[in-house]
Structure 1
Amino acid sequence: MKPADEERIAARLAKLMAIICVRNTGIEELHAGTVPVTHTGDYSDVFIIDADGRQIPWSGASHLDDDQMRNLMQQIVDRLYTFHLKADDSGFRDHLDRWLAVAERWDEPHLDKAFVEFVRRPRS
């Protein structure tokens, strides 16, 4: 297979997996709600005041607790697992085909060089 064909297929699959396996999970709860106003554009002027009265910079605040992160990752892993297990099921593929039309409108993906380097690093 030509490299351009491999890249095209990988791009379509990446977008499809993102829309099917990541979107509409607990990540939507993070996206929901009121977006704070920032005049600087980088949220350095936004603060959270917690129940103890501490003022925490937006960029320094955790937006997920450990249980929420664990639940989100489990949802995504379960969906990726299901995606791979059901990929040969014709009804499942029909469902994927419907979502592919939406995914095709997304921006094209790019090779994440930092991720590639991270994976290549020797572990001690």
Structure 2
Amino acid sequence: MRPEDEDRIAAQLARVMAVACVRNTQLEALHAGRTPISRTGDGSDVIVQDAEGNRIPWSEVSRIDDDEMRALMREIVDRLYTFHLRIDDPAFRAEIDRWAAMTAKWDAAKPDPVLSAIPGKTPERG
């Protein structure tokens, strides 16, 4: 298979896995709710006051607690696992192919710098 075909397939698979295994999870509940108004646009002018009167700049506020993060990661791992187990099932694949259309206008995938920095035997493609 040509490298450009491998890249195209990997990019499409990454987008489909993102929508099927990450987007439609508890992450949606964490994303729901009111977003504070920031006149600067970066949240530096937003302050959160907690129940003890502590004033916390928005950029320093944790928006997800440990239990929520643990539950989210469990759900994502379970979905990724199930995705890999079922990807050869024709009915599952047909549904996934329909979901792929949802991602058609998403930004193009690009290599992640952290994962790309891990040494390996596969030569870099440019």
Q: Fold match, TM over 0.5?
A: yes
Amino acid at match of 1:92: F
Please list, as runs of the form range in 1=range in 2, the aligned pairs for 1:42-53 lying within 5 A after superposition: 42-53=42-53
Measured against aligned partners, the alpha-carbon deviations of 1:25-81 in whole angstroms (never above 9, x if no partner) come to: 111112111111011111000111111111111110111111000000000000000
In the aligned structure 1, how far is the partner of 2:85 from the partner of 2:68?
26
Measured against aligned partners, the alpha-carbon deviations of 1:58-114 in whole angstroms (never above 9, x if no partner) come to: 110111111000000000000000000001111111110110111122111111223
Unpaired runs of 5+ residues, structure 1, are none
Residue in structure 2 matched with residue 33 of structure 1 by the alignment: 33
In the aligned structure 2, how far is the partner of 1:105 from the partner of 1:99?
12
SS of the counterpart of 1:56? strand
In the aligned structure 2, how far is the partner of 1:62 from the partner of 1:115?
25
Unpaired runs of 5+ residues, structure 2, are 120-126
Normalized per residue, the structure richer in helix is 1
In the aligned structure 2, how far is the partner of 1:115 from the partner of 1:45?
34
In the aligned structure 2, how far is the partner of 1:114 from the partner of 1:12?
20
In the aligned structure 1, how far is the partner of 2:26 from the partner of 2:51?
24
Say what the alpha-carbon RMSD is for the aligned residues. Answer: 1.0
Aligned length: 119
Please list every run of at least 4 consecutive aligned residues from structure 1 whose deviation after the TM superposition is greater than 4 angstroms: none
Q: TM-score, normalised to structure 2's length?
A: 0.90
